Structure 1
Amino acid sequence: MTDRGAWLAALAGALLPLAFAPFSRYWLAPLLLAVLFAAWDRVTPRRAASRGAAFGFAAFLAGTWWLYISIHGFGGSPRWLAVLLMLGLNLLMAAYVAACGWLAARIRARWSWLSWCLAWPAAWTLLEWLRGWLFSGFPWLSLGYGQIDGPLAAWAPLGGVYLVSLLTAIVAGLLLLLWRGSARARLGALAAGLLLVLATGLLQQRHWTVPAGERVRVSLVQGAVSQDRKWLPGQRLPTLRLYHDLSFPGPPRRILLWPEVAIPALADEVGDYLQALHAEARAADSTLLLGILTRGSGDDGFYNALIALGADTGEYHKRHLVPFGEFFPVPGFVREWLRLMSLPYRDMTAGAREQPPLQALGIRLAPSICYEDAFGAEQLDFLPAAALLVNVSNDAWFGDSIAPAQHLQMARMRALEAGRPMLRATNTGITAIIGADGRLQDRLPQFRPGVLHGQVQPRRGATPYVRAGDLPVLGLSLLLVFAGLGSRRAAGD
């Protein structure tokens, strides 16, 4: 690769994960994207695509290297296969940025400000949404998530994470305009930036939802059983005792939350244990929500489930399964090869799109299991009826990497979009109580068993994002891209 612009784009991409948790240098994102936009300016579509690919590959290699830990360290796959799958995903993610670069070079509007500040950010947002949806979706490192602690987060209740991404990219365009634009264009960029600052300040004072009922006591349990020990035959009984003893006795009338697949067994294998938990929680006028595997409809199928015991009963089945983790989207001959190689190949059963509502102490919940909380639009199925968000996860698969912090950052965005608190229990961390404003109220340290006690305020009402979802932002982005293309044609370019 002799193209200096590609090397510069790769360097900017490699630094992009610093804008996300656990580093949280949110201000870096527009700066680094401005570098990429500069690399796309006045070059051929092919060269812009190659520079976009360099940026994207470096960003995802630096930001999602923890996939290797999951696939090889805990998934049991050979090193070569883990590296192959990780690099394959990085190449796929880089292809989206390459496509954005190609489109940006094709637009090349009559006015630089239209390209840099509107059409290119819109193209970025559309491609970001596409990679969060196509092939089951992988929304990690979407620009908006990195802004959760920055001022632009105030826009999330209006249009979700993709509106925040769009605005972040627009800021990148304004920075490029300040750098390369004419004197008049620079004045326009300063004026636009001032308007954005004023509008953001007004939004930061806006509350979209209101309290519903009284505050409720909650206890979030983190067993901290390592993934390499969790499913050992001799570990089952100690795990059952650990979670029970961390939970009972305790304060009356509370919501207890255990992590995803907290119990290393199918539900019908520990029926007596579950009945005892149900009786104990009911006697305390409490609801226990716990993650466990339950039997599916087939002979060997099973659900990744969240069940309610005690004062309320119910069951939620995970709907959005993890590719190559919970299901294998491969042809039959590949599945047979995986079986012969003693590699994972069996699928879980996906839950139905519409399921009976889950409740705790009579409070309607919006449940999600593991990385379901990475998809904001799917949460809308439970809103605005739900007053609390609940997520159970198992980030033990990623060890002591940056993945758990990134995942928590995405969960915080879900709370902010919905204007509701989130209870988040994980096996090894990061277990946390998240406020309706997306801020952390409290959390447990990673890799230590413990219980996070607190109180949360259920809320009612609907943010604009809850009412409309992603469609307004996607529609606006399409219009801006077409405006750029139309200007290009008018300019005879």
Structure 2
Amino acid sequence: MSSILHRGWLAALAALALGALTTLTFAPFELWWLGPLICAPLYGLLQGTRLRRGMLIGWSYGVGLFGAGASWVYVSIHDYGYTSMPLAAVLTLLFALGLALFYLISAAFYRLLSPRPSVIEPLIFAAAWTLGEVFRGWFLTGFPWLYLGSAHVESLLAGFAPIGGVYLISFLVALSGALLWHLAVRRRVFALVPLAAIWLAGSVLPTQWLSPDPRPIPVALVQGDLPQLTKWSPEGQRTAVNTYLRLTREQAGEAELVIWPETALPMFEEQAMPFYQLAQANMRPGSSLITGVLTRSNGLFHNSMIALDQHMEGGMTRSEYQKHRLVPFGEYVPLEGLLRGLLAFFDMPTSHMSPGPAGQQPLRADGLRLGAAICYEIVYPDLVRDQARHSNILVTISNDTWFGRSIGPLQHMQMAQMRALENNRYLLRATSNGLTAVVGPDGRILAQIARFEPGVLNFEAHAVEGLTPFTRTGSLPIVLVSIALVAVGALLSRRRGASR
């Protein structure tokens, strides 16, 4: 069987299938236990291959992963980007083919640096995989979607998240797959010891390192469920104002924190401010309204989150967070001079944004420090960690209407859960049409509103002080360990080559 799979196109086809199957480890399927079982044959396919074939195997895996797991991009391009079905399909395919290059690079890295045969070969595989994910989350603003570890919010490995974050879990899943291969195919009994140690340790590690403040904080998350295609029209603006004012007045009046989603009112802040004041007139005295809104300063447009904090004695304090990591094509257009106007998809209403500065402070509201993340930003582990270091509650707002009834918003929710788990913070997530939810410090969803329904989620959250190991150090330790491992691999490979 092994010799058959190492025949070029058959190996590539097998890797393609393994990539597609990886989608099942994530929400909404959540078959997290498939992760090591998929990594095992992928690791086997890379054994003894030449560099070019290894690169083909890695790229084919990536095509399968993003072709299946990120197929929701088609909905955004076709349904909301006014692009024809054939062209939307082609663009979606190109998207998957391009992202798959990251796995080509990881496979090449592994083949070049792995000393064969060697007991540290599984470690080099896991390190190359992890560094590939890190690079993908950084290069050209990054695409940190479908990280292998993101599937393990509620798995036996969840206890590693507050220690080393999602990259550490990805490392352990990839390592487990390589060890499984050695155990099942090579009959290397030594692999059983580290394999058992990983999963036994994960099962006993605590998911919560910190204790929440006992004082309950009544919060209300408002979900308007407004149609995206008409949202920016004059009629859509009136509907948005009426919907959010009504839901807030009728169902959110007793909350200390009332949270509206990303661009809840499709207008600039100066246009929306009278409506915010109307909403606050029907809210509890001394409460705060947090909302997504478009702001402008110095001629630049920003996708922002603002907190309007009422004072008991009258008056209001305003704080603002400007989105730092923008979505390519959705909020800015790469190579704008060439692409702007070429397709309607490249000229959507919100595709003229400018990024906010790095290192922004948390929002202040109701005496709380709110770590902010707008939409796509919640999938960046170290960006959220930077906010969590100075905050006691995490707030993320999103407009996942762009992705319809696809699996994209469900994957997005799962990654938000991982951020709560890594930092042991309550996470309040308000979205336009779902999933709107409250996530506990252990990463589990405590309450949510059904998708595609207007409503208000009332719940009691708690502030959390202190730092988890991950919140203190971020992803740096596992990145350094991975670099050290590939450096050792490179050194051993060079010595082995010199001795021949």
TM (norm. structure 1) is 0.93
Which runs of structure 2 are paired with 1:14-413 in the superposition (5 Å)? 14-115=20-121, 117-182=122-187, 185-186=188-189, 188-204=190-206, 207-212=208-213, 214-249=215-250, 250-281=252-283, 283-298=284-299, 301-311=300-310, 312-335=317-340, 337=342, 346-413=351-418
Which digits, 9 at most, give the CA deviation of each residue in 1:314-351, with x for residues without a partner? 22111111111101120524436568997779521211
Residues in 1 aligned to 2:179 and 2:412: alpha-carbon distance in whole angstroms? 30
Contact 2:309–2:366 (8 Å) recurs in 1? no
Which runs of structure 2 are paired with 1:430-441 in the superposition (5 Å)? 430-441=435-446
Residues in 2 aligned to 1:267 and 1:244: alpha-carbon distance in whole angstroms? 16
Q: By how many angstroms is 1:40 displaced?
A: 0.4
Residues 469 and 137 of structure 1: is their aligned pair in 2 closer, same or farther, counting only changes over 3 Å?
Answer: same
Query: 1:233 corresponds to which letter in structure 2?
Result: P
Q: SS state of the match for residue 359, structure 1?
A: strand
1:449 equivalent in structure 2: 454
Which digits, 9 at most, give the CA deviation of each residue in 1:191-227, with x for residues without a partner? 11222233223313x6322223512111111111121
Query: 1:381 corresponds to which letter in structure 2?
Result: D
Could you say what the CA RMSD is over the residues aligned between the two structures, in angstroms? 2.1
Q: By how many angstroms is 1:232 displaced?
A: 2.7
Residues in 1 aligned to 2:346 and 2:268: alpha-carbon distance in whole angstroms? 25
Which digits, 9 at most, give the CA deviation of each residue in 1:377-424, with x for residues without a partner? 112322322000000001000000000100000000000111101000
Q: By how many angstroms is 1:313 displaced?
A: 2.7
- What residue ranges of structure 2 are gaps of 5+ in the alignment? 1-6, 311-316
Residues 356 and 277 of structure 1: is their aligned pair in 2 closer, same or farther, counting only changes over 3 Å?
Answer: farther
Q: SS state of the match for residue 441, structure 1?
A: strand
Residues in 2 aligned to 1:321 and 1:51: alpha-carbon distance in whole angstroms? 31
Contact 2:393–2:427 (8 Å) recurs in 1? yes
Residues in 2 aligned to 1:335 and 1:392: alpha-carbon distance in whole angstroms? 27
Residues in 1 aligned to 2:65 and 2:110: alpha-carbon distance in whole angstroms? 19
Residues 30 and 276 of structure 1: is their aligned pair in 2 closer, same or farther, counting only changes over 3 Å?
Answer: same
Q: SS state of the match for residue 210, structure 1?
A: coil
Query: 1:22 corresponds to which letter in structure 2?
Result: P
Residues in 2 aligned to 1:50 and 1:352: alpha-carbon distance in whole angstroms? 39
Contact 2:362–2:372 (8 Å) recurs in 1? no
Q: SS state of the match for residue 367, structure 1?
A: strand
Contact 1:367–1:389 (8 Å) recurs in 2? yes
Residues in 1 aligned to 2:346 and 2:64: alpha-carbon distance in whole angstroms? 32
Residues in 2 aligned to 1:60 and 1:113: alpha-carbon distance in whole angstroms? 31
Q: By how many angstroms is 1:13 displaced?
A: 1.0
Which digits, 9 at most, give the CA deviation of each residue in 1:287-323, with x for residues without a partner? 111111122321xx42111122242532211111111
TM (norm. structure 2) is 0.92
Query: 2:398 corresponds to which letter in structure 1?
Result: S
1:476 equivalent in structure 2: 481
- Equivalent pairs, count: 485
Q: By how many angstroms is 1:284 displaced?
A: 2.8
Contact 1:339–1:345 (8 Å) recurs in 2? no
Residues 263 and 331 of structure 1: is their aligned pair in 2 closer, same or farther, counting only changes over 3 Å?
Answer: closer
- What residue ranges of structure 1 are gaps of 5+ in the alignment? none
Query: 1:106 corresponds to which letter in structure 2?
Result: L
Q: SS state of the match for residue 340, structure 2?
A: helix
1:489 equivalent in structure 2: 494
Which runs of structure 2 are paired with 1:414-425 in the superposition (5 Å)? 414-425=419-430
Residues in 2 aligned to 1:341 and 1:383: alpha-carbon distance in whole angstroms? 33
Q: By how many angstroms is 1:280 displaced?
A: 3.5
- The alignment-based identity, stated in percent, is 38
Contact 1:24–1:149 (8 Å) recurs in 2? no
Residues in 2 aligned to 1:199 and 1:129: alpha-carbon distance in whole angstroms? 24
Q: By how many angstroms is 1:241 displaced?
A: 1.4
Q: By how many angstroms is 1:488 displaced?
A: 2.2
Contact 2:340–2:346 (8 Å) recurs in 1? no
Residues in 1 aligned to 2:242 and 2:341: alpha-carbon distance in whole angstroms? 39
Which digits, 9 at most, give the CA deviation of each residue in 1:354-384, with x for residues without a partner? 4353122111010111010010111232232
Per mean C-alpha deviation after superposition, the further-off stretch among 368-377 and 78-87 is 78-87
Query: 2:277 corresponds to which letter in structure 1?
Result: Q
2:4 equivalent in structure 1: none
Residues in 2 aligned to 1:63 and 1:342: alpha-carbon distance in whole angstroms? 26
Residues 479 and 290 of structure 1: is their aligned pair in 2 closer, same or farther, counting only changes over 3 Å?
Answer: same
